[in-house]
């Protein structure tokens, strides 16, 4: 009655069987109530120790064991077994000799091996062969020392495919501490591993071309460098930047651009040797590492291959695209033991130098290049600092309307008030600016300041324009129109029409579509445009027609020489006529003397700017200058040059030009200069004389011309016979006579009656 009801029946049945002699021993486990009231497990082991003659039991002896603890352990084991069977992780148990004694269902699921197939065998059957002896050696060493190991390992499935697993091995020891069993617990992490590998690939390879990216390039470069050192070989780093790739993007779209990059990448990869690396650090830049060279010269044919590959036309979207590449090369080892990134920078610098030379150029890095590059860098820094320190100032030079005798505007010209070097002109620092962002910032400062000054002058009642020079880099920056809009909005007192942006024609040609868009966007804000230095580039007239221009500026180099160089005079005349044809204002810059004014007026140019009127001056001087200035009346009345008079203008320029030529012949003693006869000279004067043979003015001019020709013949004769003393004397005479002739011509040209000048 002390026994647990669940166990009592079985115990009683056993007892009955034993008493009857059916079983030799009595051994039963059952729960009995402890005096304190709870149940405990006991084991009863016993037998009948004496029987009567009839075989009936007389004495029963036995022992009671407390097995409560064991029972509890067994219960735990049962749970463990259930975990073992149903775990999602693979479990493998071996004996001390590493023979597999058990595996679970997940093991079978992961490895593909059935339980029967592996029992009794060693875990080596799962090996993928990816790990070497040392790997396993280290693993078992750790297990014997610490009793456990965990890590990632590649194994092979029954079907031959490899899988990655995270594996924990632990040792089960016996009471004396000897290994009894090893339990391996593992999870399949192949998917995770693959994902990780994909991430790594993404981190190291460029997704567009599949080439190594900047990060992997750095690794490879360091490896190649240490290999070159070890093997005592040379290696080259080749920086390649495609020429005008932007045009491909702009004209054919970005998808086409991507295709071009992909094809170029393939070609580069194909053109190199197995051991070389080609990477794409970004944009349209590629870097090749060429190793195992015996000499630097060996690199040339490899580079040629790269060049040839790129130069073959690339077909994208039915267009044959021609791509060029600028190449910069640096070598290793070299003096100074540069680091990998320095070597790369050197090649990049050489590439920059190649770009400077033009398309498809090649440049090798040298130490001098390093120095100039550093200097350039220092200049950028210095200029940026100057901008922050407010060391720049704007000077203004007035622009005159000769016909109206009025000031129409002022041109803003930047100066640098350098703390040590004094006032510097733009030529001393603008050409050094290479950083596009710096150019844009400086340009923004100029516009800001000019608008500020303009506002002040407007308030003071002055009514003129401010012209501001805008560089190509500034203008073509995409944010230019937006910035300008903000700048204008910040100065509501200024009418946008008062701002005239001067752009040089060459900058408009760099990227015609972009230039068009941007100028139109700005024009939409009310701002006007002038084409600066006109005549120095090669403008397409078609392009000119489409730009929203107000003004053409004749470059001062042409104006300066127009009265002594017939070619320059021809250009000045052509620009004036072009402006008239397109309905644009024409402004001549660099007007230095009265002669310029007369000639320009006669050719039909109304607007002028130059030292003759005023030099550039600080902003605060402008109001004072405006008040005191007036145009001499003589200049106002210069008559227009009527047809025919043009020949006289050219005649004057030709005479001056001829004088220079003769001076040269005499000065160089005839040695270098072939002594030509005067007869082949292009003579506008002759043309005029032919056309006005009946004019009263004709006679004296004709006479003077004949005398001049005679003197010239004598002069040349002296040179031919090497009488240079006499030649020099003849030159003085020639110059006097030429001057007299010029005076006659000019008088005629400037006081001419229409009758005399009509063709
Ligand atoms: P530019 O636009 O052709 O400017 C006219 C230049 O001619 C100015 O030189 C001016 O001082 C000079 N000049 C004016 N009249 C005469 C004259 O009668 N005879 C001679 N020989 N020269 C005369 P500056 O100020 O040295 O400027 C040089 C160039 O620097 C400018 O040429 C312009 O291209 C550029 N520049 C000046 N300021 C700026 C600016 O704020 N931004 C940008 N992007 N460029 C500027
Ligand atoms: Ca200008
Ligand atoms: Ca100019």
Where does 671-753 have alpha helices with state H? 684-691, 698-720, 724-751
Percentage of residues in the chain having pLDDT higher than 90:
47
- Residues pairing with 287 in the sheet: 239, 279
Residues 222-227: what's their mean pLDDT?
A: 93
Identify the pLDDT of residue 538: 63
Identify the pLDDT of residue 674: 58
Residues 148-159: what's their mean pLDDT?
A: 91
CA distance 551 to 530: 4
Q: In ligand 1, which atom is closest to the CA atom of 394?
A: 41
Identify the pLDDT of residue 694: 78
CA distance 357 to 361: 7
pLDDT at 272 over 80: yes
Using only the alpha carbons of the chain, give its radius of gyration: 49
Identify the pLDDT of residue 753: 47
Summary mean pLDDT of the chain: 88
pLDDT band at 55 (very low <50, low <70, confident <90, very high): confident
Q: Is 673 exposed, middle or buried (0-12, 13-18, 19+ CB in 10 A)?
A: middle
Residue among 469, 471, 612 to mutate when testing ligand 1 (max atoms within 8 A of CB): 469
Residue among 398, 413, 430, 448 to mutate when testing ligand 1 (max atoms within 8 A of CB): 413
Are residues 399 and 411 in contact, defined by beta-carbon separation less than 8 angstroms? yes
The closest ligand to the CA of 467 turns out to be 2
pLDDT at 545 over 70: yes
pLDDT at 111 over 50: yes
pLDDT at 557 over 80: yes
Q: What is the dihedral of CA 28, 34, 39, 45, to 10 degrees?
A: -10
pLDDT band at 754 (very low <50, low <70, confident <90, very high): very low
408 C-alpha to ligand 3 centroid (Å)? 18
> How are beta strands 617-618 and 234-243 bridged, if at all?
unpaired
CA distance 272 to 416: 50
Residue among 386, 398, 425, 426 to mutate when testing ligand 1 (max atoms within 8 A of CB): 426
pLDDT band at 436 (very low <50, low <70, confident <90, very high): confident
pLDDT at 472 over 90: no
Q: In ligand 1, which atom is closest to the CA atom of 471?
A: 44
Give the tens place of pLDDT for each residue, 668-687.
765 555 556 555 555 888 88
DSSP 620: G
DSSP three-state, residue 583: coil
599 lines ligand 1 (CB under 6 A): no
425 C-alpha to ligand 1 centroid (Å)? 8
Residue among 691, 683, 620, 630 at smallest CA distance from 657: 683
471 lines ligand 1 (CB under 6 A): yes
Q: In what order do the strands lie in the sheet with 57-66?
A: 26-33, 39-51, 57-66
């Amino acid at each position: 009655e002390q026994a647990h009801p669940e166990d009592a029946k079985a115990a009683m049945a056993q007892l009955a069987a034993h008493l009857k002699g059916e079983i030799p021993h009595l051994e039963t486990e059952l729960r009995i109530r402890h005096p304190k009231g709870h149940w405990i497990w006991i084991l009863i082991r016993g037998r009948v120790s004496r029987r009567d003659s009839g075989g009936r039991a007389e004495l029963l002896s036995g022992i009671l064991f407390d097995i409560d603890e064991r029972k509890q352990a067994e219960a735990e084991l049962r749970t463990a077994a259930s975990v073992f069977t149903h775990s999602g992780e693979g479990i493998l148990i071996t004996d001390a000799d590493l023979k597999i004694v058990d595996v679970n269902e997940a093991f079978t699921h992961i490895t593909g091996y059935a339980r029967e197939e592996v029992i009794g065998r060693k875990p080596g059957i799962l090996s993928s062969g990816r790990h070497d002896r040392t790997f396993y050696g280290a693993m078992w060493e750790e297990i014997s020392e610490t009793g456990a190991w965990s890590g990632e390992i590649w194994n092979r499935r029954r079907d031959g495919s490899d899988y990655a697993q995270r594996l924990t091995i632990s040792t089960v020891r016996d009471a004396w501490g000897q290994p009894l069993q090893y339990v391996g617990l593992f999870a399949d992490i192949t998917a995770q591993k693959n994902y990780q590998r994909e991430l790594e690939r993404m981190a190291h390879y460029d997704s567009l071309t599949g080439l190594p990216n900047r990060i992997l390039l750095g690794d490879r470069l360091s490896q190649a460098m240490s290999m070159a050192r070890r093997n005592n070989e040379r290696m080259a780093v080749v920086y390649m930047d495609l020429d005008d790739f932007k045009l491909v993007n702009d004209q054919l779209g970005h998808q086409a651009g991507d295709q071009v990059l992909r094809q170029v990448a393939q070609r580069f990869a194909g053109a190199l040797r197995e051991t070389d690396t080609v990477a794409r650090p970004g944009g349209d830049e590629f870097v090749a590492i060429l190793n195992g060279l015996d000499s630097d010269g060996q690199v040339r044919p490899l580079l040629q291959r790269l060049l040839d590959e790129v130069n073959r036309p690339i077909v994208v979207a039915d267009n044959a695209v021609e791509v060029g590449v600028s190449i910069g090369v640096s070598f290793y080892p070299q003096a100074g033991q540069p680091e990998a990134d320095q070597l790369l920078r050197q090649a990049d610098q050489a590439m920059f130098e190649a770009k400077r030379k033009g398309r498809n150029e090649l440049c090798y890095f040298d130490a001098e290049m390093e120095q100039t590059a550093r200097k350039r860098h220092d200049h950028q820094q210095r200029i940026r600092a100057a901008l922050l320190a407010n060391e720049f100032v704007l000077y203004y030079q007035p622009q005159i309307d000769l016909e109206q005798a009025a000031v129409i505007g002022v041109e803003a010209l930047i100066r640098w008030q350098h703390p040590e070097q004094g006032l510097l002109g733009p030529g001393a620092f603008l050409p050094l600016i290479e950083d596009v962002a710096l150019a844009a910032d400086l340009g923004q400062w100029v516009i800001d300041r000019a608008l500020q000054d303009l506002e002040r002058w407007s308030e003071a009642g002055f009514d003129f324009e401010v012209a501001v020079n805008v560089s190509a880099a500034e203008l073509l920056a995409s944010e230019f129109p937006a910035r300008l809009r903000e700048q204008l909005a910040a100065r509501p007192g200024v009418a946008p029409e008062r701002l005239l942006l001067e752009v040089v024609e060459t900058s408009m040609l760099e990227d015609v579509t972009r230039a068009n868009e941007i100028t139109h966007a700005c024009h939409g804000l009310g701002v006007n445009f002038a084409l600066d230095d006109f005549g120095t580039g090669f403008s397409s007239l078609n392009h000119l027609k489409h730009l929203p221009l107000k003004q053409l500026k004749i470059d001062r180099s042409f104006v300066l020489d127009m009265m002594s160089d017939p070619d320059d005079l021809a250009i000045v005349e052509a620009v004036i006529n072009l402006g008239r044809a397109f309905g644009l204002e024409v402004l001549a810059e660099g007007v230095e003397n009265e002669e310029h004014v007369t000639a320009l007026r006669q050719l039909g140019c109304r607007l002028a700017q130059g030292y003759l009127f005023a030099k550039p001056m600080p902003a605060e001087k402008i109001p004072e200058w405006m008040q005191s200035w007036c145009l001499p009346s003589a200049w106002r009345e210069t008559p227009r040059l009527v047809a025919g008079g043009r020949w006289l203008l050219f005649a004057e320029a030709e005479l001056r030009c001829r004088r220079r030529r003769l001076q040269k012949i005499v000065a160089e003693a005839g040695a270098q200069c072939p002594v030509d006869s005067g007869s082949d000279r292009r003579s506008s004067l002759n043309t005029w004389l032919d056309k006005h043979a009946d004019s009263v003015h004709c006679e004296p001019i004709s006479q003077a011309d004949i005398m001049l020709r005679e003197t010239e013949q004598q002069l040349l004769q002296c040179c031919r016979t090497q009488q240079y003393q006499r030649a020099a004397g003849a030159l003085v005479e020639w110059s006097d006579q030429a001057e007299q002739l010029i005076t006659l011509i000019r008088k005629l040209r400037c006081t001419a009656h229409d009758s005399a000048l009509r063709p």
